[in-house]
Amino acid sequence: MNNNGVNGVSRRGFLMGSLGSSLVITAAGTTGLVLRTSPSYAADTFVSDVTGSYSFEDAATGCVVDVSVANGVRRIRSNGIPNHSTGQFPNSSNPNAISAQDYDYSFPSSPSQGKSAETYTIPQPFGIAVNGVLFDPLAAEWYNSDRNSGWSYNALGSGIDLGLDENDAHVQPTGAYHYHGIPDGLVDTISRKGHSPLIGWAGDGFPIYLDRGYKKPRNRKSGLTRLTSSYQLKSGTRPSGPGGRYNGDYNEDYEYIEGSGDLDAANGRFQKTPEFPKGTYAYILTKDYPVIPRAFIGSIADSFVKSGGGAAGNGPTNGQPGAPSGGQPGPGGQRPQGAPGRPRPPRA
């Protein structure tokens, strides 16, 4: 691979880096990516703007990414190996080892926004990070191991152990390492004083950001705030299935309450950003549910559609579950012994 889009960076930029490839905020305000394992002040291997074309191999981790932007298409090819440290795989709750993949996705570089959010189902992932690792929040685990039960486990809830590491990630039987939540290993060196960096691209081509944005989405001088989801934990007890109080163990424990947070049903909003000063629709990774969005606002790119997991219809409405039943086919996870109605141990 060549180093197209890889440029020099200031001393300040590298002061924001750490061992392993990491995200930084450049002097121009755009999101950049340090590529050297041990960056020095004189190092010149740096992606100055992840919205453009770039290509690199990280010898320390094995991460390989090639991105080209031309003729209205953003093409991302990667081996799915993260550019940061991971937990131990296999582990007691995830029996799979990380192995290289062969990702090749093409997204519109100027996507069109639809009229409403549309949820997606397994095995559809949500997007891909700037380091070539997939965002894939759903888990193929249901109450009583019954996909038709109407109750799907929240991968980040306390009701299931999927063997996730510190990046809220684990590994599918195919060897694909993927994020169920916010990848701390990729973002732990970001300056939190400015606007959140661009961290990836959704399956419809729109950008993905972390949760610090402008208070007024179209006003870059309005100050910064931590953006919040409009999904709320229901009150009371579950009427069926596992019973008990709504506590976040299941996706259906949440409902979308329009206007209760900053974001819409797809966990995004139209906003100005350093990378898009004229504004763009953007998805937000939030601290609270759903963390990674569970719906698309645009049409999923053909290359990114995974059979059987496309849009499941119009997105959630007031009072409806905050996510579809379902998740990525994967290893499952080992549960606490003796818990009634919990799925069986994982099948490798």
Give the integer Cα–Cα distance in Å for 348 and 174.
10
> Number of C-alpha atoms within 13 angstroms, CB side, residue 65?
30
Mode of pairing for the β-strands spanning 198-202 and 169-171: unpaired
Give the tens place of pLDDT for each residue, 139-172.
999 999 999 999 999 999 999 999 999 999 999 9
Predicted confidence at residue 322, as pLDDT, reads 33
Contact assessment for residue 170 and residue 162, using Cβ atoms and an 8 Å cutoff: yes
* Domain limits, the chain: 70-336
Predicted confidence at residue 208, as pLDDT, reads 97
Give the integer Cα–Cα distance in Å for 302 and 263.
26
Q: Which residues of the chain have pLDDT under 50?
A: 1-20, 36-45, 189-192, 313-348
DSSP, res 59? T
Give the integer Cα–Cα distance in Å for 106 and 67.
10
Give the tens place of pLDDT for each residue, 70-125.
999 999 999 999 988 999 999 999 999 999 999 999 999 999 999 999 999 999 99
Q: What is the pTM of this model?
A: 0.82
Query: How far is the CA of 98 from the CAs of 80, 155, 170, in angstroms?
Result: 9, 19, 9
Which residues 6+ apart lie within 8 Å of 327 measured at CB?
A: 122, 137, 138, 139, 140, 141, 152, 153, 155
Give the integer Cα–Cα distance in Å for 311 and 103.
21
Predicted confidence at residue 344, as pLDDT, reads 30
Predicted confidence at residue 49, as pLDDT, reads 77
Specify whether the backbone of 236 is left (phi greater than 0), alpha (psi in -120 to 50) or beta: left
Give the integer Cα–Cα distance in Å for 348 and 336.
18
Predicted confidence at residue 335, as pLDDT, reads 30
Give the integer Cα–Cα distance in Å for 46 and 8.
6
